[in-house]
Structure 1
């Protein structure tokens, strides 16, 4: 099977009478309810459940080992290779499956708000609610753009199609496969809508660096003077909370590119975690879940149709998808200038890292590659005490290229634009989890604000003894004694013992980076070895 014939087969299928192309939101909602795929909530959002899989299936994700990419991909447990033969055979089966459907749903749109680097995409789904999700998460074309739209990448999502692991050469019935030569993403055997979002992000994480654009798993906002700030951080570190600032406009909440012209959002929507969501704590997100939004695995009261965001009985990974324009304080174009401030967020449950520290370029690259935070006891089965977690570049599952490629681009951008980088610990102070207490959010906001406003640029600092981090001696609105972790612990010996343990975990994790210069390790890593 060659690429041209496959593309023609797909296009032939989409021109048949069963393809519902670019249905408006209201019509999709009607279809969803008619087909009983989801229920309507009291705000007009639809609420769907995803069955067995309530999160991503990373062990079932593959990239086709094609000649044009096989020497570029960072192959391993994240980027698992699959042969062209296996992919082509499965692709033919999926195309045949599409022909049997009474209805297919097609969304045409874009990934990437900067038109210089924009990827035209089409999303073909067998569920109407998955197509609504795509319409809310990706960038929607204008009527004029739609007339000339020609997809460079197609995503086909068939949750009811189950692979035969033996016959199809896969690990399980579930598959998420990217072919860069055929420009196709195949997803099957799972109903979790987030696979669509992250598959296109993976595609962009390959394509953008090839065009000298630094792709990033981060949120971004901009101040009244055009000053841009980036927020990197894993789940639970406060990325969404801190980037949603009433005094600053949101560029995007999760995926961005940094080109020679500045920063741009890759998406057209938001995919927010909503476990324990409340209007009091996160009013912007709470009020954004309106008509046409998609709730995933949120328990709904059968009588009132009011979502119970505190109920995690289906999963703790409850989600809400909505277009970014549902947030009031945004940058309409989703494009802005070059960042002045970069914030790495970590929730250190060991209480060792300072609440804020200024990083040198080498330290920035080291901590970017480390991507550290910690999981708490009880968050996952088997975790009985705080556990260090490292996710390369704060987005390891979505990076097809070697980590060094992204780290080099970060270093180049810091040099070129003079961005200041800060490490902010939103975790514990005065002791580890169970002994100390969570950092006061009011203090964290004050520290981040001071960093963004340039108040820490020339501030006197003291060097922390284990990681060599430069801690400001004073931050407006924050008690001085909070800034140095050692002073917040009652037992200095216990502090030093726990700090040495964390240093060891950082060093053990960093051993996998065999292509990183010794300068980064020597000048950027822990000073206690």
Structure 2
């Protein structure tokens, strides 16, 4: 099926009598509830359940093997190839499936708050609540922008179409297929709305580097003087908590680009975890869940319609989607200048890494490529002791290109804009998990705020022995014995042994990147003291 046929099929679908384009939030709420797709909570949020798929399906994600992108994609377990023939056959079946539906919903909008580099997108949804999700998560156009809108990429989402692996060439009933040539994202067999969000992010990770823009899986905020800070970190490292600072405004909580103009949010909304959510601990998220927000797999009392955020019976991965404007302390539009500070967050359950250390450009590239944190005992079946886990560039599932492309861009931008980079350990001190204690949040906040204010730019440091990290000797408000992790351990030999153990895990993980500049690849330790 050539691009012309793809375009004509799409045009025929969009011209159908069952198509509703750019419905308002109240219209989509009405449609979702009246059609039985979701229920309305006491606060007016739409609550939907996604059935057996309560998270992303990475093993069912494919990129079409096409000449336009074949030599650029980092093929492997994350970026799995699929043939044009399989894609085209499935695409034709999905289009026929959607034509038979009594209603389809279309959202037109953008990815990227920077007008010079934004991507015009549209989603075609079988479910009204999925279209509401897209409306809240992506950037909504003005009337003038909508009138001139021409989608560059289209998400075609048919959750009730299930592939037959024996006939359709997939591994299961579920599929998320990206065609860079046809500019189509085809999703079927799953009701998990997050597939739309992350598929568009993957597209941005493919096309932005060609424009000299670094796509980043991070949060960003800005101070009163216009100073921008980026926060990278995997789940459980404190990214949301630390980037939500009352003295600073939020640019975005999850996905950003860094262009010659500065930093911009890729999205127009937030997709927050809600398990154990409370107003006391996370007031911004709690109060943002109001009329028009989408709750995913949150158990709701059938009579009072009060969400039970402590109930993980459907999944621990409960979520809320809402427009960023539902948060008070934001930058609107979601753009900022060039970062002054970058913070890499890790929750090191081995108790080895310093609570804060200043990184050279090469160390920043190393730890960016590594994307380290720990999984804790009891968090997953079979884990009986802390495990090191690595997610390349803090977002490996969404990187179509080789990781070194993103790391090299980061290094160049750090040089060009003289950015201070810090590695912050929000994990354990004085011993590993089960022996030591979790780093006090008050200490971490003090250290991060000192970094953002530039107070650690020219401070006296001492070099940690294994990774060669530069540890501040003194930070006002933080006990000096906390700053160097070896000093915090009663058993120094035990610390040394555990540090070498973690170092070996870093080095083993780094082998997957192949040939990397030795000035970077050797930074996993052991490093000699100067």
Q: TM-score, normalised by structure 2?
A: 0.99
Structure 2 equivalent of residue 518 of structure 1: 518
Q: 1:190-205 maps to which residues of 2 (within 5 A)?
A: 190-205=190-205
Structure 1 equivalent of residue 360 of structure 2: 360
Structure 2 equivalent of residue 424 of structure 1: 424
Structure 1 equivalent of residue 136 of structure 2: 136
Structure 1 equivalent of residue 449 of structure 2: 449
1:122-176, CA deviations, whole angstroms, 9 ceiling, x for partnerless residues? Answer: 0001011000000000000011111111100000111110001011111111000
1:42-99, CA deviations, whole angstroms, 9 ceiling, x for partnerless residues? Answer: 1111111111111100000000010010000000000000011111111111111111
**Do the aligned residues in 1 keep the contact of 2:300 with 2:307 (CA within 8 Å)?**
yes
Secondary structure at the residue paired with 2:406?
Answer: helix
Structure 2 equivalent of residue 337 of structure 1: 337
Structure 2 equivalent of residue 436 of structure 1: 436
Secondary structure at the residue paired with 1:332?
Answer: coil
**Do the aligned residues in 2 keep the contact of 1:369 with 1:407 (CA within 8 Å)?**
yes
Structure 2 equivalent of residue 463 of structure 1: 463
The whole-number CA distance in structure 1 between the counterparts of 2:149 and 2:274 is 34
Structure 1 equivalent of residue 125 of structure 2: 125
The whole-number CA distance in structure 1 between the counterparts of 2:493 and 2:517 is 34
The whole-number CA distance in structure 1 between the counterparts of 2:276 and 2:376 is 17
Structure 1 equivalent of residue 208 of structure 2: 208
Q: 1:206-245 maps to which residues of 2 (within 5 A)?
A: 206-245=206-245
The whole-number CA distance in structure 1 between the counterparts of 2:378 and 2:354 is 25
What's the offset of the Cα at 1:499?
A: 0.9
The whole-number CA distance in structure 1 between the counterparts of 2:258 and 2:490 is 44
Secondary structure at the residue paired with 1:505?
Answer: helix
**Structure 1 stretches (4+) deviating beyond 2 angstroms?**
none
Structure 1 equivalent of residue 265 of structure 2: 265
The whole-number CA distance in structure 2 between the counterparts of 1:255 and 1:140 is 16
What's the offset of the Cα at 1:528?
A: 4.4
**Do the aligned residues in 2 keep the contact of 1:154 with 1:185 (CA within 8 Å)?**
yes
Q: TM-score, normalised by structure 1?
A: 0.99
Secondary structure at the residue paired with 1:251?
Answer: strand
What's the offset of the Cα at 1:527?
A: 2.9
The whole-number CA distance in structure 2 between the counterparts of 1:395 and 1:128 is 29
Structure 2 equivalent of residue 111 of structure 1: 111
- Runs (5+) with no aligned partner, structure 1: none
Structure 2 equivalent of residue 372 of structure 1: 372
Q: 1:248-263 maps to which residues of 2 (within 5 A)?
A: 248-263=248-263
What's the offset of the Cα at 1:322?
A: 0.4
- Runs (5+) with no aligned partner, structure 2: none
Structure 1 equivalent of residue 295 of structure 2: 295
What's the offset of the Cα at 1:411?
A: 0.4
The whole-number CA distance in structure 2 between the counterparts of 1:369 and 1:398 is 14
Structure 2 equivalent of residue 39 of structure 1: 39
**Do the aligned residues in 2 keep the contact of 1:404 with 1:515 (CA within 8 Å)?**
no
Structure 1 equivalent of residue 526 of structure 2: 527
The whole-number CA distance in structure 1 between the counterparts of 2:265 and 2:483 is 33
Moved more, 420-429 or 377-386: 377-386
**Do the aligned residues in 1 keep the contact of 2:50 with 2:297 (CA within 8 Å)?**
yes
Structure 2 equivalent of residue 246 of structure 1: 246
**Do the aligned residues in 1 keep the contact of 2:500 with 2:526 (CA within 8 Å)?**
no
1:337-359, CA deviations, whole angstroms, 9 ceiling, x for partnerless residues? Answer: 00000000000011110100000
What's the offset of the Cα at 1:381?
A: 1.4
Secondary structure at the residue paired with 1:12?
Answer: helix
Moved more, 375-384 or 420-429: 375-384
**Do the aligned residues in 2 keep the contact of 1:363 with 1:525 (CA within 8 Å)?**
no
What's the offset of the Cα at 1:515?
A: 3.0
The whole-number CA distance in structure 2 between the counterparts of 1:519 and 1:234 is 25
Secondary structure at the residue paired with 2:186?
Answer: strand
1:380-433, CA deviations, whole angstroms, 9 ceiling, x for partnerless residues? Answer: 111111110000000000000000100000000001000010000011111111
Structure 1 equivalent of residue 67 of structure 2: 67
The whole-number CA distance in structure 2 between the counterparts of 1:457 and 1:527 is 25
1:174-202, CA deviations, whole angstroms, 9 ceiling, x for partnerless residues? Answer: 00000001000001111111100000000
Structure 1 equivalent of residue 320 of structure 2: 320
1:13-44, CA deviations, whole angstroms, 9 ceiling, x for partnerless residues? Answer: 11111001111000100001101111111111
Aligned alpha-carbon RMSD (Å): 0.9
Secondary structure at the residue paired with 1:204?
Answer: helix
Q: 1:453-492 maps to which residues of 2 (within 5 A)?
A: 453-492=453-492
What's the offset of the Cα at 1:376?
A: 0.7
Secondary structure at the residue paired with 1:377?
Answer: coil
- Alignment coverage as a number of residue pairs: 528
